[in-house]
Amino acid sequence: MFNEEILTDFVIKVGDEVIKTHKCILAKNSKVFHRMFEQNGMTEAQNGEVIISDATPECVRAMLEFFYSGMVSDDKMKIHVYDIFAIAHKYQVEMLEYLCERFMSRNIDDKNIIKCCGIIDLYGTTTLEKACVNYIQANRRNFLKSKKWKKIKNNYSSLVPRFLEPIIERLNK
């Protein structure tokens, strides 16, 4: 239905792309779109289009893929998960936020833990925070001596006690 553009009644402009979609699908999946269409005075509802300037076309398409199919391909998640999470948060798509957070939690490693800390700090993602605690505990001998840990302490100092307290509690049991 999404790819075929049958009976579309709304347009999302993002970057140089124009994406045709359906109001009912947007409203069903996003609290923000739902409110936008409920309020007759909203310019977007009257014009039948919205301009998204703070996301890439790929991320908007991934969100729409989720709206129409209930999932996002692993390939897209691997490349764009942080940005998909951000747009899902902005448009209040709770299930997509949850899927992104679970995906990030399953894929924490030394290369992306700093990015995960930024997500935790900005959005308060508890599942991702627990996954970081588990990662740090499992790798504590090397990780707590690493440059990554030093960077976390410098840039996300409020997370340090939240990461260490559960680890210390587990060690004391």
Q: Give the CA distances from residue 36 to residues 27, 73, 93, in Å, rounded to whole numbers and listed in that order.
A: 8, 28, 14
List pLDDT tens digits, range 53-92.
999 999 999 999 999 999 999 999 999 999 999 999 999 9
14 or 44: which carries more pLDDT confidence? 14
The two beta strands, 17-21 and 49-52, are unpaired
pLDDT(2) > 70: no
pLDDT(38) > 80: yes
Output the average pLDDT for the chain: 93
pLDDT at position 108? 98
pLDDT at position 158? 97
List pLDDT tens digits, range 81-128.
999 999 999 999 999 999 999 999 999 999 999 999 999 999 999 999
pLDDT(4) > 70: no
The stretch 126-136 carries a mean pLDDT of 97
pLDDT(157) > 70: yes
Q: Which fold has domain 110-173?
A: 1.25.40
DSSP strands (E only) in the chain:
10-14, 17-21, 49-52
Percent of the chain with pLDDT over 70: 98
pLDDT at position 1? 56
pLDDT at position 45? 75
DSSP code for 139: T
- Cβ partners under 8 Å of residue 73, min gap 6: 65
**CA gap 157, 93 in Å, rounded:** 29
The stretch 24-50 carries a mean pLDDT of 89
Phi and psi torsions of 104, nearest 5°? -60, -40
